[in-house]
Structure 1
Amino acid sequence: MDAEIILPSLGRMSLTSTWLESLLFGINCILFGACIHILTDRHRQPHWILYVSCAFHMSISTAHAILAFIQLLDAFTGHAYASIPHGADIYFATPNALFIINLTMYVANVFAQDLLLIWRLYIVWGHNRKLLFLSLFVEAAHIACAIVSVVLIAPSNGLLFSSKVQAFGKASWTLDLFLNTTVTCGIAYPLWRASIRTAPISNHSYQATMYTVIESGALIASCTVIMFALDVAGSPAGFAAVNVAVQVATTTPLLIIVRLGLGLTHGKSSSNENAMDDEKDGSLRFARPVQVNVTHTQTEEIASALPRSSLDSVESDN
Structure 2
Amino acid sequence: MTPNIPLVSVSLATICVESCLYGIFLVLFVFSTYLLSTHKLTEVERAHGNGQKLSSTLRNPLIVSSFVLFISVTAHWLIDCVRLFKAFVNSPSGDAPLAFFADLSQETEVAKTGFLIVSLLAGDAMIIYRLWVVWGYNKAIIIFPICSFIGLAICGTGITVQFSMYQPGQPVFLSEAGRWITSDTVFTLCTNLYSSVGISWRIWRINRSVRSIGSRNLSSILGIIVESAFVYTAWTTFFFATYQSQSNLQFIGIDCLSAMSGISFMLINVRVGLGWAQQSTVASVNSANSGSQNAIVGGRDRTPFKTNNYPLRPLAINIEHAVSNDHDYDSSSKSSKQIV
Equivalent residues in 2 for 1:75-154, closer than 5 Å? 75-80=87-92, 83-85=93-95, 87-95=96-104, 96-154=106-164
User: What residue in structure 2 maps to residue 43 of structure 1?
Assistant: 42
Superposed CA offset, 1:84-120 (max 9, x none)? 33x3222111020001100110011001110111111
CA pair 314-262 structure 1, distance change in 2 beyond 3 A: closer
2:297 alignment partner in structure 1 = 307
Per the TM alignment, residue 295 of structure 1 is displaced from its structure 2 partner at its CA by: 6.9
* TM superposition shift of 1:316: 9.8
Post-superposition CA distance 1:227-277 (Å, at most 9, x none): 000001011221342221111111111111100111346xxx7226xxxxx
**Secondary structure of residue in 1 paired with 2:108:** helix
Partner of 2:28: 31
TM-score with structure 1 setting the length: 0.81
Are residue 195 (structure 1) and residue 207 (structure 2) matched? yes
- Cα separation, 2, equivalents of 1:36 and 1:200: 36
What is the CA–CA distance in structure 2 between the aligned matches of 1:153 and 1:84, rounded to whole Å?
25
Number of residue pairs the alignment of both structures matches: 288
How far apart are residue 30 of structure 1 and its match?
A: 1.1
Cα contact 1:260–1:304 (8 A) shared by 2: no
Find the residue that maps to 1:199 and give its secondary structure.
helix
Query: Offset at 1:121?
Result: 0.9
State the identity %.
21
Q: CA deviation at 1:15?
A: 1.3
TM-score normalised over the length of structure 2: 0.76
Structure number with bigger Rg: 2
Q: Can you give the 5+ residue segments of structure 2 that lack an aligned partner in the other structure?
A: 45-56, 310-340
Q: What does residue range 160-179 of structure 1 map to in structure 2 within 5 Å?
A: 160-179=172-191
Alpha carbons of 1:295 and 1:162: their partners in 2 closer, same or farther (altered >3 Å)? closer
Matches within 5 A, 1:131-280: 131-155=141-165, 157=167, 159=170, 160-264=172-276, 270-271=279-280
**Structure 1 residues 232, 317: CA separation in 2 closer, same or farther (over 3 Å shift)?**
farther
Give the alignment's Cα RMSD to 1 decimal. 2.8
Partners of 1:103 and 1:242 within 8 A in 2: no
C-alpha distance in 1 between matches for 2:190 and 2:308: 38
| Residue 203 to residue 130, structure 1, CA distance change in 2 (3 Å) | closer
Structure-1 separation of matches of 2:270 and 2:37: 13
Matched, 1:22 2:19: yes
SS in structure 2 at match of 1:161: helix
User: Matched residues in 1 for 2:293 and 2:230: separation?
Assistant: 19
Shift of 1:299: 8.8
Shift of 1:127: 1.4
Do the aligned partners of 2:294 and 2:302 also contact (CA within 8 Å) in 1? no
CA distance in 2, matches of 1:202, 1:303: 18
* 1:148-174 CA-partner distances (Å, limit 9, x unpaired): 122112125264333422222112111
Name the SS for the 1:43 alignment partner: helix
Give the distance between the partners of 2:161 and 2:308, measured in 1 at CA. 54
Among residues 75, 79, 82, which one is paired with 1:63 in the alignment? 75
Given that 1:170 and 1:228 are in contact with CA atoms closer than 8 Å, whether structure 2 keeps it comes out as yes
SS in 2 for 1:312: coil
How far off its partner does 1:72 sit? 0.6
Q: Which runs of 5+ in 1 are unaligned?
A: 1-5, 273-289
When residues 112 and 55 of structure 1 are mapped into structure 2, their CA distance, relative to the original with a 3 A threshold, is same
Deviation at 1:18, TM superposition (A): 1.4
